[in-house]
Chain A
Amino acid sequence: GAGVSQSPRYKVAKRGQDVALRCDPISGHVSLFWYQQALGQGPEFLTYFQNEAQLDKSGLPSDRFFAERPEGSVSTLKIQRTQQEDSAVYLCASSPGVAGGNEQFFGPGTRLTVL
């Protein structure tokens, strides 16, 4: 497909379960971002990759959150021992360049509900 895809679109987890969220960016895009969007709020930055290098992970809320992009393409956001406060939409975005202000292309998001 031409756009950013994310899977699954919806995920329900019991508190304490581990989850893995996948992002397929636009082919050839160098930059990849993960955001967390709570209901009624704007997206909040989680982490940023330039190719396979994780250059900024300052937004990850705790050490239960881990992201990787081993081959500089597909990325996975893993949340261990999920908590109710982790319930949110997780958005992935990719960008062709590395300069600030490049257009970000967003996927549809994964809505995570932790019971």
Chain B
Amino acid sequence: TQLLEQSPQFLSIQEGENLTVYCNSSSVFSSLQWYRQEPGEGPVLLVTVVTGGEVKKLKRLTFQFGDARKDSSLHITAAQPGDTGLYLCAGADNFNKFYFGSGTKLNVKP
């Protein structure tokens, strides 16, 4: 059983569409990270959110940490084929242990 549940598991959209990926848990985390992973490579960090209610923007990507620090969302505006990949959220506890979600596989078609 994953401590962090991500939805949807798969998402296939057309270039230019918007999308939101969700990461939910019943546990509280000291921080939450979002990663993107491409085939044959390790995950690459996109953002870290620490404060409940925090919103961070990275170009077309908007990340939000829930007020209770149990959930998070990633919103992509005007998706591009280069956004294709596996998006992973990971929550950190107070002992530097990270729990990853099962991932959302995004495919953006040109």
Contacts and interface: CB of A to CB of B under 8 A. Distances in A.
B42 A91 contact: yes
Interface in B3-33: 4, 6, 30-31, 33
Contacts of A96: none
Interface band, chain A: 20 to 34
B42 A108 contact: yes
A4 interface: yes
B3 to A, nearest CB: 10
B31 A101 contact: yes
Contact of A45 (B6, B50, B97): B97
A89 to B, nearest CB: 9
B48 A43 contact: no
The 4 closest A-B pairs by CB, nearest first: A106-B42, A101-B31, A42-B100, A100-B92
7 contacts: A31-B96, A43-B88, A45-B99, A103-B45, A104-B45, A106-B42, A109-B42
